[in-house]
Structure 1
Amino acid sequence: MPFAVPDACTLPTAEQPLRLAEFDDLFATAVRRIEPITDTHARMRLTGPHGLTATVRDLTARETECCSFFTFTVTTEPAADGEALTLDVEVPAQHADVLAALTQRAGTVSARTMP
């Protein structure tokens, strides 16, 4: 599934498919719900094994280093087993299309793994 990388991204071109694969893995294994809040703000609910929060924090921190227009906020939630969290993703208005593409990809990838 193609994903247009914005010009503002400073991640080397050779590394972009690897980063996208990391996000796809996260979307496929952990995303349970995606809630568009506004054109510039989306919320994802994730669940997974212990270590999920650390994985999400690491991935989003690295993404912010190359695409500084993203603001990721991770909020942990109570979970009976494993970990649960909310991931808020915000962008400035000029990057609303990037957020839309990201949430569409998350929805598509996570839907392929849901029963």
Structure 2
Amino acid sequence: MFENYIPVLLQILIAGAFAVGTLLFSAIAGKSAKRNAIKDSAYECGMLPVGESQPRFSVKFYIVAMLFVLFDIEVVFLYPWSIVYKDYLAAFGGSILAVATGFVSVLGVAFVYAWKKGVLDWKS
């Protein structure tokens, strides 16, 4: 029974050896390079790193990001439905269209709510 686990153990050993080897090579090769203050400073797109290291973002940024993910995932749920629509229409009748219409209407209500709350207004 141990023979069945030999390929898995071999793969774990090879992956571990690769990770350790890569880290060791990076440490050895990195020490041999010439060092100076400019190379050791953080790269900030050509600007000197002055000020806070982590700037504060507006909460609106996160809300818009969450809304994007939410509506993006809903589109992912609609894609498989659209693929099997003809097959399910023959099997279940119009109920599949009613379910999808309800799903899209809930999304529409959520979108209108977010719009009315001003979440999608970038000027403020």
TM-score (ref. length: structure 2): 0.26
Between Structure 1 and Structure 2, whose CA radius of gyration is higher?
2
Higher helix share: 2
Structure with the greater relative contact order (CA < 8 A, sep ≥ 6): 1 or 2?
A: 1
Higher strand share: 1
